[in-house]
Amino acid sequence: MGGTVFIIPAIIAALLATMSVFLLNGKGAFLIAGYNTLKKSEQAKYDEKALCRFTGRLLIIISPLLLLVPIGIYFEATWLSLLGAAVLAGCIAGAIIYMNSGNRFRRSGPEMPTLAADSKAAPWNARAVIIFVCVVVAAVGIMIYQGGKETVVTVSDSGIQIKGMYGLSVGIADITDITLIDKSMSEIGAGSMERVNGYGGFGQALKGQFRSDSLGDFLLFVQSETPPTIRIETVGKSDIYISFRDCEKTEQLYRSIISMR
**Tens digit of each residue's pLDDT (9 = 90 or more) over 17-70:** 898 888 898 888 887 766 777 788 878 888 888 888 988 898 898 888 888 877
Quote the domain boundaries for residue 72. 2-148
Whether this prediction's pTM lies above 0.85 is answered by: no
Which residue, 115, 132, 148, sits at the end of a domain?
A: 148
Asked if residue 186 and residue 124 are part of one domain, the reply reads: no
Asked if residue 93 and residue 59 are part of one domain, the reply reads: yes
Asked if residue 83 and residue 20 are part of one domain, the reply reads: yes
Alpha-carbon distances, residue 113 vs 21, 120, 231 (angstroms): 28, 8, 64
Number of domains in the chain: 2
- 121-148 vs 78-99: helix axis angle to the nearest 10? 180
Asked if residue 47 and residue 118 are part of one domain, the reply reads: yes
| Strands, E assignment, the chain | 152-156, 159-163, 168-171, 175-181, 194-199, 205-212, 216-223, 229-234, 239-242
Asked if residue 141 and residue 157 are part of one domain, the reply reads: no
- pLDDT attached to residue 231: 96
Which residue, 123, 148, 173, sits at the end of a domain?
A: 148
Asked if residue 196 and residue 104 are part of one domain, the reply reads: no
pLDDT, tens digit, 9 for 90 and up, residues 135-164? 666 666 666 666 777 889 999 988 899 998
Contact call for residues 171 and 234 (beta carbons, < 8 A): no
Asked if residue 177 and residue 91 are part of one domain, the reply reads: no
